[in-house]
A and B are shown apart, each in its own frame.
Chain A
Amino acid sequence: MAFLTALIAGLLFGTGLLWSRMCDPQRVLAFLDVAGLWNPALAFTMGGAVLVAMPAFYFVRKRHVDMLGTATTLPDRFKLTARLFCGSAIFGIGWGLSGICPGPGLLLLTGGTTQSIVFVAGIVAGFFVSGVLDESAKTGAQR
């Protein structure tokens, strides 16, 4: 059951990314290029997505369960940390360089291009580096 519903959720999400053409790096960069020929498309996509998801989050936030009655905790909404800002700024540098974020990056893999393969391999390497640093910070704190 969890497999099926997650598959449907993924299909909706992936169809949305495809239809909005957010996988084309130049379209994303045209949104980020506020000093050039600015293309607002990404704001429409993100705005539409937030609008539809908002009632679902409201429901779960108030009731602390999902629609199947499973206890569900949403992430903290107010904890502001240096990590949050540093990490987000670094992500933005990579996003601004490439015009690709993780979702579209995975879709691009289906094209089998070298560019998409090295990009996603880079993402996984970045996960690994972050994981290693977290581990060493943990053992450092224990000493």
Chain B
Amino acid sequence: MTPDLWSSLGGGLLIGAGAATLLLLNGRIAGISGILDNTVRGVFGAQAWRIAFLLGLVAPAAVFGLGEIRFAQSAPVLALAGVLVGFGTRVGSGCTSGHGVCGLANWSLRSLLATLTFMTSAALVVFIVRHGAVPWHS
């Protein structure tokens, strides 16, 4: 194991601890797309916990800095990608945190298949962008 993989694993353990904390102490799923959606929509009622979670989420990055960030695309392409991410996560009821972390931890068949689906379509897009061909033609 390289130091890089240890920090990837260590970060993962903390992410899991965060998801466990929100479930055990708030009775809520740490699905970031859903939390963000409800926050911007201003769904009133039990709204404070969402704002608190999002504040906590970004605070470490605001305090310690992001480290090396290498954007892969220009701003217009990122805007389009953002729309697809926002739309897709709402239609599919979850993203990497909701399906990929919480759903898999909950032994959810739905989340397993959702995770396999978004990983497959993402890998296909990366293949086309980076290797300039669709796999079934190469």
Contact = CB atoms under 8 A, between A and B. Distances in A.
A119 B18 contact: no
Contacts of A10: 18, 22, 52-57, 59
Nearest to B91: A87
B78 to A, nearest CB: 4
Contacts of A42: 8
A5 B131 CA distance: 45
Given A14-B56, A23-B66, A57-B105, A123 B18 contact: no
A120 to B, nearest CB: 6
Given A21-B8, A91-B84, A68 B92 contact: no
Contacts, number: 482
Contacts of A84: 92-93, 110, 113-114, 117
A4 B55 CA distance: 11
B20 A91 contact: no
Interface string A111-133: 10111001111111111111100
A79 to B, nearest CB: 6
Contact of B90 (A9, A56, A130): A130
Interface residues of A, number: 110
Given A41-B5, A94-B88, A13 B117 contact: no
A46 interface: yes
A8 B56 contact: yes
A48 B8 CA distance: 8
A6 B12 contact: no
Contacts of A19: 7, 10-11, 14
A86 B86 contact: no
Nearest to A1: B25
Interface in B34-76: 36-37, 40-41, 46, 48-50, 52-62, 64, 66-76
Nearest to B74: A115
Interface of B: 4-5, 7-30, 32-33, 36-37, 40-41, 46, 48-50, 52-62, 64, 66-97, 99-111, 113-115, 117-127, 129-131, 135
28 contacts: A3-B48, A6-B52, A7-B56, A9-B21, A13-B22, A15-B14, A16-B14, A29-B72, A33-B123, A41-B4, A41-B8, A44-B8, A46-B12, A50-B104, A52-B19, A53-B16, A72-B23, A78-B108, A84-B113, A84-B114, A87-B88, A90-B88, A91-B89, A91-B121, A98-B82, A115-B75, A122-B83, A126-B86
